[in-house]
Structure 1
Amino acid sequence: MPASARYTNLTRYENIGINKEFNLADGHAHQGQNSTQQSIVAELPDLFYAAEKARQADSEDEFQQAFYSLAGQHSAVTHPRTFLCYSASLATDLVATYLSSKRLTVRLLQPSFDNLATILKRRNIPLVPVAENEFAPERLEAFLNSLGEDALFLTLPNNPTGFSLDPAAFERVVGHCRVHGKILIIDCTFRFFATSPFWDQYEVLEKSGVSYIVVEDTGKTWPTQDLKCSILAVSKDLYDDMLELHNDILLNVSPFILRLLTSYVRDTERNGLDETIWSVIRSNRQALRDALQGSIFAPAFPQSTVSVEWTRIDHATLRSEHVVEALGQDHLGILPGDHFYWADHETGSQYIRFALARPCDWFVGACRHLRTVIGANEDFQA
């Protein structure tokens, strides 16, 4: 792709992708409504008028309790130090504003969606990358002992790879941060795609006494036309400062949005995460992998369960920007991998990312088109 046609961030690529005939770019929830969710949509007028009559605090409490209950975070169901935001990006900017005000440094996971790094950098926060393999059991102790920054920022599970920490590693990281006075920041916006048994992370955080910030979100999980809510949960020692920052930006999230999201969360609790969310992602992942058979594109993390597919390019010279350009010309929008490696674009250029949260029938058609494009391009064939 000519340098003049390249974009500087992933959100810009997503913006281009959403206008393609086959948008596999943005990771938002676009999988359409199942039968019980259609019933929620049919009840939108009732939800609107109920929200209009409700006390704001009641709408917030009902949403938070439903969200954390479904997530298995029972210690957070009545968490007293949470702030609601319209998006996870806004919540992250509040975190960045706090870190900047204290002149703190951050070790940030790589790869990760590049707006995390961009938001922090725009607040002039010094960043150092940390690779996922540093959290392997045999390397974790050495990494933690090398952690000189004031805060550790992780995404669990990670977009795009699906990387996460098991309970033992999580407790080890929390314990180290507590003992050494580090702030632990965790982006959990893809939490509901972690199909391993849920365990109460907030219980570990609260009992440890660590300084922490957790960002939650609904926008990657439920197909609500980007009507969403992010929860920003903080430890006691950070609450007063974060409260002041939140007050500067936002009074409240719309009670109508909260009522709508609560209905979706409760519907998922009734019908199960597998039926409501995981089965769609699992089906689309298999359809994509079938379409990529015999090509230079291979799943980089075959066991991943998150709603995106991080895909390796097995070619000596092709890079992610070349693939994105070529597929874009054939009406397919995807994301290049280089920007996920926000401190090392060259390493990321060996990858591309496909979004999976789409209607299954539509996705099969997109994969059929992708297969045709691969068949017509010799460079894409293994």
Structure 2
Amino acid sequence: MAGQQTAAGLNRTLFCYSASLSIDLIATFLASRGLTAALLHPCFDNLATLMRRRNVTLMPLHEEDLSLDRMEETFAGLAAEAVFITLPNNPTGFELSREEWDRLVALCGRYEKLLIVDCTFRFFSRKPLWDQYELLERSKISYLLVEDTGKTWPTQDLKCSILAISEDLADDVLELHNDILLNVSPFILKLLIEYLKDTVQEGLQSVIWEPIDRNRKTLREAIRSSGLTLHNTDSMISVEWLRITDPNFRSVDLVDRMQRLRLGILPGDHFYWHDHGQGERYIRIALARCPDMFADACKILKFATMTTNRMDPA
């Protein structure tokens, strides 16, 4: 369903209870080898938290550093042994084109970098499908890829993450994996298979994309005359990353105001894990919600942020 035919034939894929456990295994592996990592900035904050808990030294890697015209320069000056990116990126929706993927893998090979990719938001991408695992296997670079069902099929925390490993790392990562778990529950796997079968039959468009797109449209209409602007108009993932235009108003101020109105939003500061100040004027809103409930929430958001001049924190 993801177009990753090569992955289906690999015998180096491990099941984990969650994507967070897969990331923790990666962090443990990096720590065991004393490897440093360049981590995308911003990204979902628990990636940095898990890495640091395992005492992995992190360096920020910005999305613009991975553009075709800057990628060569980025790798030439990169001190970290591993490159850790999320595609599509939560919260910004940032993605790489196929040409950028090709360049990234080639540079990892040339500069002997371990490539780590969190693909857990894969099924929200609208880019044409192509086999990324075929590219990775053909390149012979060292890689670790994380897949997940939890971001796409919400099943009350019954989920499965897949950790795919290049051949040169397989034995060491497998040993770490076996120290933690033997397998994911067959009951959970059977349940997920039924969800997947249903999605194959009905199509990603109707099962996954349409509710997300409907909520995205509702949200964007609600903020038109507010003190919020879109960070990435091309984002297709299941969250929206919004910037607060008033320089005197922080994300925590808006979160507090929304909480008083019984509406939950997420402040952006911790997504900028290297410098929380860069995120203090961003908020993230989850779109994977019941459309009727989400429409009501957008009315509250519109009421709370509608302004001609500025949003008063008071």
TM over 0.5: yes
SS of residue paired to 1:130 = strand
Q: Which residue number corresponds to residue 111 of structure 1?
A: 42
Residues of 2 paired with 1:356 and 1:98: CA distance?
Answer: 34
Structure 1 letter corresponding to 2:251: S
1:245 to 176, 199, 203: 176
Deviation at 1:326? 1.2
Task: Tell whether 2:88 aligns with 1:172.
Answer: no
2:141 to 210, 235, 248: 210
Question: What do the CA deviations read for 1:1-45 (whole angstroms, capped 9, x no partner)?
Answer: xxxxxxxxxxxxxxxxxxxxxxxxxxxxxxxxxxxxxxxxxxxxx
SS of residue paired to 2:211 = helix
Residues of 1 paired with 2:98 and 2:271: CA distance?
Answer: 26
Deviation at 1:256? 0.8
Deviation at 1:380? 3.2
1:319 to 224, 237, 250: 250
Deviation at 1:232? 0.3
Q: Which residue number corresponds to residue 125 of structure 2?
A: 194
**Is residue 35–residue 82 contact of structure 2 (8 Å, CA) maintained in 1?**
yes
Q: Which residue number corresponds to residue 204 of structure 2?
A: 273
Residues of 1 paired with 2:177 and 2:138: CA distance?
Answer: 25
SS of residue paired to 1:367 = helix
Gaps of 5+ in 1: 1-69
1:227-246 aligned at under 5 Å gives the runs 227-246=158-177
Deviation at 1:224? 1.1
Residues of 1 paired with 2:7 and 2:151: CA distance?
Answer: 20
Q: Which residue number corresponds to residue 144 of structure 1?
A: 75
Deviation at 1:371? 2.2
Q: Which residue number corresponds to residue 65 of structure 2?
A: 134
**Is residue 91–residue 239 contact of structure 2 (8 Å, CA) maintained in 1?**
yes
Gaps of 5+ in 2: none
Tell which has more relative contact order, 1 or 2 (C-alpha 8 A, sep 6+). Answer: 1
Residues of 2 paired with 1:362 and 1:243: CA distance?
Answer: 43
Residues of 2 paired with 1:178 and 1:141: CA distance?
Answer: 12
**Is residue 25–residue 177 contact of structure 2 (8 Å, CA) maintained in 1?**
yes
Residues of 1 paired with 2:308 and 2:22: CA distance?
Answer: 42
State, as a whole percentage, how many aligned pairs show the same letter.
53
SS of residue paired to 1:380 = coil
Deviation at 1:379? 4.2
**Is residue 17–residue 160 contact of structure 2 (8 Å, CA) maintained in 1?**
yes
Q: Which residue number corresponds to residue 263 of structure 1?
A: 194
Q: Which residue number corresponds to residue 80 of structure 1?
A: 11
**Is residue 144–residue 173 contact of structure 1 (8 Å, CA) maintained in 2?**
no
Task: Tell whether 2:2 aligns with 1:71.
Answer: yes
Q: Which residue number corresponds to residue 346 of structure 1?
A: 277
1:54-69 aligned at under 5 Å gives the runs none
**Is residue 72–residue 200 contact of structure 1 (8 Å, CA) maintained in 2?**
yes
Aligned length: 312
Deviation at 1:179? 2.4
Residues of 1 paired with 2:162 and 2:143: CA distance?
Answer: 14
Residues of 2 paired with 1:182 and 1:137: CA distance?
Answer: 18
Residues of 2 paired with 1:122 and 1:326: CA distance?
Answer: 32
Residues of 1 paired with 2:127 and 2:220: CA distance?
Answer: 22
**Is residue 297–residue 313 contact of structure 1 (8 Å, CA) maintained in 2?**
yes
SS of residue paired to 1:173 = helix
Q: Which has the higher helix share?
A: 1
2:24 to 77, 93, 112: 93
Which deviates the most, 132-141 or 295-304?
132-141
Q: Which residue number corresponds to residue 52 of structure 2?
A: 121
Deviation at 1:85? 0.5
**Is residue 157–residue 190 contact of structure 1 (8 Å, CA) maintained in 2?**
yes
Question: What do the CA deviations read for 1:176-223 (whole angstroms, capped 9, x no partner)?
Answer: 112222110000010000011111110000000000000010111012
